[in-house]
Amino acid sequence: MKARLGGEEGKHKFVLKTPKGTRDYGPKQMAIRERVFIAIITCFKRHGAEVIDTPVFELKETLTGKYGEDSKLIYDLKDQGGELLSLRYDLTVPFARYLAMNKITNIKRYHIAKVYRRDNPATTRGRYREFYQCDFDIAGQFDPMIPDAECLKILHEILSELQIGDFLIKVNDRRILNGMFAICGIPESKLLTLCSTLDKLDKMPWEEVRSEMVGEKGLSPEAADRIGEYVQLHGGMDLIEQLLQDPKLSQNKLAKEGLGDMKLLFEYLTLFGIAGKVSFDLSLARGLDYYTGVIYEAVLLQQENDHGEESVSVGSVAGGGRYDGLVGMFDPKGRKVPCVGVSIGIERIFSILEHRMKASGEKVRTTETQVMVATPQKHLLSARLKLISELWDAGIKAEMMYRKDPKLLKQLQYCEDTGIPLVAIIGEQELRDGVVKLRDVATREEVRMSLQQVSEVFPKSSWSQKALGFPGAPLKSCIVDLADKCSFLLAL
Amino acid sequence: MKARLGGEEGKHKFVLKTPKGTRDYGPKQMAIRERVFIAIITCFKRHGAEVIDTPVFELKETLTGKYGEDSKLIYDLKDQGGELLSLRYDLTVPFARYLAMNKITNIKRYHIAKVYRRDNPATTRGRYREFYQCDFDIAGQFDPMIPDAECLKILHEILSELQIGDFLIKVNDRRILNGMFAICGIPESKLLTLCSTLDKLDKMPWEEVRSEMVGEKGLSPEAADRIGEYVQLHGGMDLIEQLLQDPKLSQNKLAKEGLGDMKLLFEYLTLFGIAGKVSFDLSLARGLDYYTGVIYEAVLLQQENDHGEESVSVGSVAGGGRYDGLVGMFDPKGRKVPCVGVSIGIERIFSILEHRMKASGEKVRTTETQVMVATPQKHLLSARLKLISELWDAGIKAEMMYRKDPKLLKQLQYCEDTGIPLVAIIGEQELRDGVVKLRDVATREEVRMSLQQVSEVFPKSSWSQKALGFPGAPLKSCIVDLADKCSFLLAL
């Protein structure tokens, strides 16, 4: 991906690359990305979400004090006079700023956009400095755990639909963690910094996390050990009931509240039929400062390693939780708007699908062209330009070669290379007869028809169908009228 | 949009706003934006384009020396250690960098993304510091003016489809400008800086442009006056023929080449049936350094002023041209890849459509929800959760209120407010009978049916249809099976 350049004339002395931790998406990658986005957007819309967009940068102070220890990863813009700006670190803080600024107290929205983190990413594992987040959030004062349960249902629907292998959704609650720390004798002031440490449990063993707690965070070894016992617990309704009986934990007000809500959540998840994929896990902490209640994270259980190639190791692919205080941090009077949301990190999902596509050798069409306009003799450029113009005006996806006199074989080869299924051939004879020869690239069957008939072969599709029809699909549904005129049209 | 904050506790001392020159898009604006994008993407795909994406920032040096006097408007990122980065200024330079880096010599691609310019924008006129560009480019060595003509055809198709009023596409050629400057006795070294000045002709009168040429750019008054005569010329094939006879201009090699190609271009535009909307205009210069041949710009001729409100004054909405040297600037051996492209600036188009929508009072749905799941009595949350879960799993767009026991009237009111056409009501009686009552919100007609039948009312739509179906449309095409069971389903 790199090439150090030093042209003979000394003109080109620079590195030809994308910035560290970023990448281009070529047409094949974009075809995969489009499919993933459509699956996700479809799900968000199925749940009645509106969509918003915000600028890629915010005032620096908007982001200050929201991300705890991760704040050092924020990209700042250079001070070029005027406001101090930073690239957004996630879509949650801009959402909260948007709500406070527009005094919105009730909204269900999604937002799909790139976010920026000056991390040291392992790009082979699908981690980047510029990456997409697909966020769905519900803001408003509602009855407990109903919107929270819907977020988990959405997560379950999306991960199922994408078919990226088995997954598990871990849930916990900041209030339960808070209570757990309290009964282990740890002051509340250490809660957030300890959550950051605890959050590393999916990447390092408990022993290392423990030594960071004792060493860096100043915990007593005894307190750390007491925590160690709790964070090994995970289960379902049974564990919730067990902890509700725990003599110490059940006496802590916050923990009791959190456990009560966790019980409610599992009841709703059972009604949704998804409790089997959800694990109440006391080791889950989530690194960000702004969570106040339930938190969750989805992890993939299987690795893609069918072909003996380097495995695409993936961990967390989505996460989220409740953040009831964040909007209030932006409101002049501190008015709170309770929020809960889920964020899908599609880069890892994308890595898996891309890897699978490559391994399978599946050929992906990167255009949707329905018909190639071709000429078999010289001096027919005008006829080609006129015909293709009529096809475009009729809403038909058509291409031609940008040559005055291309060879017919080259034009047919282009169709084979790019997967165009039909060729509209206009030669001297066709021009005289006022017809076009329509040819099936695969079977080589041909049929002569009038210009009028050609455009009727492809009826005008609606805006939305035209926009997102996937390769292959549009054409099949297009052949409606002239099927009796030639057998191959039926077969398409 | 601003609110200076100073909370009682002194916590909230900051300005609650988006950065200067940027804005949020709310759900209604996003609905309009989605329609514009779909029209544009549909057109690009109709012309067989692939799609790519590149990072929002590039190495600073990638952008250096590409934009002439506009370079001062580039956003730089703060040096936080590591590479020096800048936000992209357009999509053309990243495209050229992508081609050179991947050694691609032949591609037809589109790219829709935000670009960044530290301009002093008049946001009321639809100009922003963060704005979308929708770019279509054809790279490769082809016969003259065939891809160039297609770019203009695309521009014509998009501006026609968007129905934003009458428009004119101005075209010129950098080689003709070059020849014009040469025969007016101006050295070639001044070409680019004079193009920057000439580019202001659409914003200021000739007299002011002339005085900048003489004052700042050091032209003799006589040379400026000779240029002044040329830049007043505009027309079609007749003007091209006239200039081909011009004794001075026709002797200049570059101008002659440019005029010959311009003639070819107008022949192709005539075959495409769009020459009437294209004007060969010698005052068109385009500010950017990288153009080498034909250049063009689309301007709207009419202003939106039907309602006596402040007019949305708009000028250029799209532009582009040929840049045969840009890819070579990135190639270690300077290998050139000829390119031509068009860039649609949708912010102004969007301003017009938004203004028109507001003026018409048209109600825009911002969700696609097909059915509301409601209960008429208390203690039925479980039934609602179970039913909505089944609807979601069947691919139906469904919502419910996040309340344990909402009043039926409130649930129906929510449908009216948000445009949801159907309500699936599940009460005690329905629960006993194992049925659901489906109600048409508008007509209040009701029909009882089994759960199985309910999900058959909305057949599973395909991915792409589900994703982009516009409000209203999906439902109409959904009612397939149970129409004989109740009259209102037919009417939907």
- Claim to verify: residue B107 and residue B148 sit in the same structural domain: yes
Same domain for B191 and B260, yes or no, is yes
* Residue whose C-alpha is closest to residue A155's, from A314, A302, A341, A290: A341
Q: Rounded to whole angstroms, how far apart are CA atoms A94 and A66?
A: 11
Q: CATH code at B420?
A: 3.40.50.800
Residue pair A66/A289 in contact (Cβ under 8 Å)? The answer is: yes
pLDDT at residue B465 tops 80: no
Q: 10 Å Cβ neighbour count for B179?
A: 26
User: How far is B101 from B80, CA to CA, in rounded Å?
Assistant: 26
Q: Which residues contact A260 (CB under 8 A, 6 or more apart)?
A: A244
Q: Give the pLDDT mean for B139-148.
A: 98
State the pLDDT confidence band at A94, using cuts at 50, 70 and 90: very high
User: What's the pLDDT at A459?
Assistant: 54
Residue A198 has pLDDT above 80, yes or no: yes
Instruction: Flag whether A189 is in a domain.
Output: yes
Cβ pair A487, A461 in contact under 8 A: no
A116 annotated ligand-binding residue: no
Tell me the pLDDT band of A217, cut-offs 50, 70 and 90: confident
Which residue, chain included where needed, has tokens 């022949």?
B267
At A60 the pLDDT is 96
Integer Cα distance of A264 and A273 in angstroms: 14
Determine the Cα–Cα distance for residues B126 and B124; give it in Å rounded to an integer: 5
- B398 CB neighbours in chain A (<8 A) are 46-48
Mean pLDDT (whole number) for A226-246: 94
* Per-residue pLDDT reduced to its tens digit, A347-368: 889 988 988 888 988 788 899 9
Q: Which of A91-100, B80-89, B191-200 has the lowest mean pLDDT?
A: B191-200
Q: Does A413 score more than 50 pLDDT?
A: yes
Q: Could you tell me the pLDDT band of residue B459, with boundaries at 50, 70 and 90?
A: low
Assess whether pLDDT exceeds 50 at residue B101. Answer: yes
Question: Is A80 a residue whose pLDDT tops 90?
Answer: yes
Overall average pLDDT of the A211-222 stretch: 90
Based on the fold, state whether residues A94 and A112 are members of the same structural domain.
Answer: yes
- Could you report the per-residue pLDDT of B277-335, keeping only the tens digit for each? 999 999 998 877 889 999 999 999 865 455 544 444 457 899 999 999 999 999 989 89
A296 is in an annotated binding site: no
Cβ-based neighbours of A245, under 8 Å, separated by 6 or more: none
Label residue A123 by pLDDT band (50, 70, 90). Answer: low
Asked if residue B9 is part of any domain, the answer here is no
Pairing of strands B278-281, B167-173: parallel
Question: What pLDDT is attached to residue A69?
Answer: 78
Is A399 in contact with B48 (Cβ distance < 8 A)? yes
| Class of residue B418 by CB neighbours under 10 A (exposed 0-12, middle 13-18, buried 19+) | middle
C-alpha B174/C-alpha B198 separation (Å) is 12
Q: What is the CA radius of gyration of chain B?
A: 29
Q: Which two tokens stand for residue A336?
A: 């709170």
pLDDT at B345 over 80: yes
| B218 and B297 housed in the same domain | yes
CA angle in degrees (0–180, nearest 5) for A395-B147-A413 = 75
Look at residue A9 and tell me if it is in a domain: no
> Of the candidates B147, B174, B149, B141, which has an alpha carbon nearest to the alpha carbon of residue B336?
B141
By residue range, what is the domain housing residue B389?
Answer: 371-491
Cβ within 8 Å, pair B54-A397: no
CA–CA gap between residue B50 and residue B167 (Å, rounded) = 27
- Percentage of chain B with pLDDT > 90? 66
Q: Round to whole Å and give the CA distance between B477 and B475.
A: 5
C-alpha to C-alpha distance for A470 and A364, rounded to whole angstroms: 10
Residues B216 and B245 both lie in one domain: yes
Decide which of B360, B379, B397 is a domain's last residue: B360
One domain, residues B375 and B356? no
* Same domain membership, residue B424 and residue B312: no
Quick: pLDDT tens for A151-172.
Answer: 999 999 999 999 998 999 999 9
Q: Picking from A171-175, A450-454, B249-253, B341-345, which range would have the lowest pLDDT averaged per residue?
A: A450-454
Residue in the structure block whose two tokens are 């101005």:
B170
Q: Point out the domain boundary residue: B310, B339, B360.
A: B360
A477 and A452 in a common domain? yes
Asked if residue A3 is part of any domain, the answer here is no
pLDDT of residue A338: 98
Residue B18 lies in a domain: no
CATH number of the domain bearing residue B297: 3.30.930.10
Residues A338 and A422 occupy one common structural domain: no
Q: Stretch B257-271: mean pLDDT, rounded?
A: 98
A56 CB near a chain B CB, below 8 Å? yes
Q: Which residues contact B292 (CB under 8 A, 6 or more apart)?
A: B174, B175, B322, B323, B324, B325
Is A85 within 8 Å of B130 when comparing Cβ atoms? no
Contact A139, A105 (CB under 8 A): yes
CA–CA gap between residue A325 and residue A321 (Å, rounded): 12
CA distance B144 to B294: 11
Q: How far apart are CA A197 and CA A218, in angstroms?
A: 12
**Spatial separation of the C-alpha atoms in residues A273 and A266, rounded to whole Å:** 10
Can you tell me whether residue A44 is helix, strand or coil? helix
Query: Per residue, what are the HEC states of chain B?
Result: CCCECCCCCCCCCCECCCCCCCCCECHHHHHHHHHHHHHHHHHHHHCCCEECECCCEEEHHHHCCCCHHHHHHCCEECCCCCCCEEECCCCHHHHHHHHHHCCCCCEEEEEEEEEECCCCCCHHHCCCCEEEEEEEEEECCCCCCHHHHHHHHHHHHHHHHHCCCCEEEEEEEHHHHHHHHHHCCCCHHHHHHHHHHHHHHHCCCHHHHHHHHHHCCCCCHHHHHHHHHHHCCEECHHHHHHHHHCCCHHHCHHHHHHHHHHHHHHHHHHHCCCHHHEEEECCCCCCCCCCCCEEEEEEECCCECCCCCCCECCCEEEEEEECCCHHHHHCCCCCCCCEEEEEEEHHHHHHHHHHHHHHHCCCCCCCCCCEEEECCCCCCHHHHHHHHHHHHHCCCCEECCCCCCCCHHHHHHHHHHHCCCEEEECCHHHHHHCEEEEEECCCCCEEEEEHHHHHHHCCCCCHHHHHHCCCCHHHHHHCCCHHHHCHHHHHC
CB contacts < 8 A, A to B, total 308
pLDDT greater than 80 at residue A1: no
Model confidence over B381-396: pLDDT tens digits? 999 999 999 999 989 9
Cα(B38)–Cα(B112) distance, integer angstroms: 11
Instruction: Spell out which residues of chain B touch residue A273, defining contact as CB-CB under 8 Å.
Output: 389, 393
Task: Assign residue A103 a region (left: φ > 0; alpha: ψ between -120 and 50; beta: otherwise).
Answer: left
- Mean of pLDDT over chain B: 86
* Residue A303 pLDDT level (bands cut at 50, 70, 90): low
With bands split at pLDDT 50, 70 and 90, how would you rate the model's confidence at B126? Answer: low
Give the residue-averaged pLDDT of B335-358.
92
Contact A437, A425 (CB under 8 A): yes
Rg of chain A over Cα atoms, rounded to whole angstroms, equals 29
Strands (E), A323-380: 339-345, 371-374
Spatial contact of A437 and A447, defined as CB atoms under 8 Å apart: yes
pLDDT at B457: 74
The Cα-based distances of B45 to A342, B182, B274, B343 in angstroms read 32, 41, 20, 15
Nearest CB to B85 within list A19, A56, A101: A19
- pLDDT score, position B124: 64
- Report the pLDDT value the prediction gives residue A194, as an integer from 0 to 100: 85
pLDDT at A200: 84
Residue A10 inside a domain? The answer is: no
Select the residue of B76, B109, B402 nearest A80 (Cβ to Cβ): B76
Beta strands in A96-235 (DSSP E): 107-116, 130-139, 167-173, 234-235
A290 in a known ligand binding site: yes
State which amino acid sits at residue A368: E
Any domain includes B62: yes
Query: Taking a contact as any Cβ pair under 8 Å apart, which residues of chain B between 104 and 163 contact chain A?
Result: 107, 109, 114, 116, 118, 130, 138, 140, 142-143, 146-147, 149-150, 153, 157
Residues B129, B204 share a domain: yes
pLDDT-based confidence at B197, cuts 50/70/90? confident
Dihedral angle sign, alpha carbons of residues B483, B486, B491, B492: negative
Looking up tokens 């090699």, which residue turns up?
B253
d(CA B231, CA B201): 9
**Percent of chain A scoring above 90 in pLDDT:** 66
The pLDDT of residue A399 is above 50: yes
Q: What pLDDT score was predicted for residue B419?
A: 93
Question: Residue A486 carries which DSSP code?
Answer: -
Mean of pLDDT values over B165-179: 94
Interface touch B473/A462, C-beta < 8 Å: yes
Distance from CA of B78 to the nearest CA of A (A): 4
Last residue of a domain, one of B306, B338, B360: B360
Question: Are A353 and A378 found together in one domain?
Answer: no
Shared-domain flag, residues B353 and B398: no
Question: How many domains in chain B?
Answer: 2
Q: What is the pLDDT of residue B192?
A: 81
Mean pLDDT of B416-437: 94
* Residue B106 covered by a domain: yes
Contact A12 B109 (CB under 8 A): no
Range name among A396-405, B20-29, B102-111, B123-132 with the lowest pLDDT average = B123-132
Q: Is the pLDDT of residue A47 over 80?
A: yes
| A289-296 mean pLDDT | 93
Residue contact A392–B11, C-beta within 8 A: no
Identify the pLDDT of residue B218: 87
Does residue B1 belong to the interface with chain A, where contact is any CB pair within 8 Å? yes
pLDDT in the model for residue A244: 96
